[in-house]
Amino acid sequence: MAVPEGPLVIGVDSSTQSTKALVVDVSTGRVVAGGQAPHTVTGDGGARESDPEDWWLALGEALHRCGTPARRAAAVSVAGQQHGLVTLDAEGRPVRPAILRNDVRSAPQGERLVARLGGRKAWAERTGSVPGPAFTVSKWAWLREHEPEAAAATRAVRLPHDFLTERLTGRAVTDRGDASGTGWWTPATGAYDVEVLALAGLSPGLLPEVADPFEAAGTVRGLTGLPLPAGALVAPGTGDNAAAALGLGLTAGQPVLSLGTSGTVYTASPRPSADPTGTVAGFADARGEWLPLACTLNCTQAVDRIAALLGTDREAVEPGGGEVLLPFLDGERTPQLPYASGLVYGLRHDTTPGRILQAAYEGAVFALLGALEKVLTGLSERDAPLLLIGGGARGTAWRETVRRLSGRAVRVPGAREFVALGAAAQAAGVLTGEDPREVARRWGTADGPSYDPVPVDREALDRIGSVLADGGALLGRGARA
């Protein structure tokens, strides 16, 4: 192993499926070591839950797999999956499993909250977003309604990254980026909205402090068995998308399309956004600016499921068909169809598995690109290249479908694990005083091969849009939890 040229920091990505940790050389951006450990996700019928204690154990395992470099780190930052509801008792133990962001059981509660505060426009203007089932405020309302004993036993409410940061430092702290995804934080003041909390039946005293973006949350306590040096600085951390934006060194108007289990589109912005349709969430970023973002629940996992059902490889697509597949296998957030299931249209005798699979890719990308246009309103020139990240970015079928339906140039950064890299950049910033976005740019994380634009496939876009419009009532009906 080469000798590091500068101090080491650790960036952690605690996602829905696993915890990943990277040890990074601050001077060069070189990843010195990495480790990963899986999470267990349970639930059906719209439910998605995990035991937060599993995240803590996975963090320890991922750090152990980093080996000796982890024990030499000068700073660490934890980025976590957004929106998840973690409820703790007076001793800091989970009252129940955490309710994850892709749990859609709270759709009715979200709808009622929207109505009670004056509608979608009022929510967007007040909190930057319209709360759907993904948002923490909706999940808390669901818990109070369906498990009142658990809600009554709760003495602290945390987001996933808050839970891990507090375990490391002993300080109850969050950041503005992750807090902006709860539904009870407001851009106008940078603080919790007391009226929204009262509406949701949640005491402000149960929530963590919102840290300044550039301050340390604390230092690592002497934690037996955890391979981190006691006294190492702990950055405030943030949500996964805000961390990825840091990891890319993202500039205002630069479009990003992230192809993961869920799909996200976002950009950096110098001003807050307030979309009354609810498509664009007006999130804060981890630096003091803004991160307008739209998310789809069904992305790579849904398309992979279609490939598995067809018995084909995920790359075995065949172009040229007229089939349409809307892969809303777990309900959908964009478009807002929480009760939807998948829909296939246009099957004929000559339909092949490859054409059905291509239609699944197109359905997923169509939803993301429609959201991207709203995210970029007033921020981006049409010729700005689209940064393609996430697990799907390495797939030819994903990349070529994005090119064909967007008509944009596409760049695929060579770096991977942008959430963990962004967390590492934040840790480096706390350690050195440098802006974490500039740290990531210095590391060259967004460098990678570019692909020229191709003509937009208008026929495919029109075909999918027509089916989505005509099938909207059927899709919206679905199976209500």
Q: Is 240 a catalytic residue?
A: yes
Could you say which of 25, 178, 193, 240 is catalytic?
A: 240
Residue with tokens 């390495």: 394
CA nearest neighbour of 76 among 208, 207, 223, 190: 223
Amino acid at the residue 187 = P
Closest C-alpha among 360, 367, 330 to residue 346 = 360
Distance of alpha carbon 465 from alpha carbon 450, whole angstroms: 28
Query: What is the torsion angle, in degrees rounded to the nearest 10, for the CA atoms of residue 469, residue 377, residue 83 and residue 242?
Result: 140
CA distances 202 to 85, 105, 106, 139, 157, Å, are 13, 19, 16, 12, 9
Residues with Cβ within 8 Å of residue 213, at least 6 apart in sequence: 175, 176, 177, 236, 286, 287, 288
d(CA 245, CA 223): 30
Cis amide bond preceding 453, omega within 30: no
Place of tokens 């809307």: 326
Residues labelled catalytic = 240
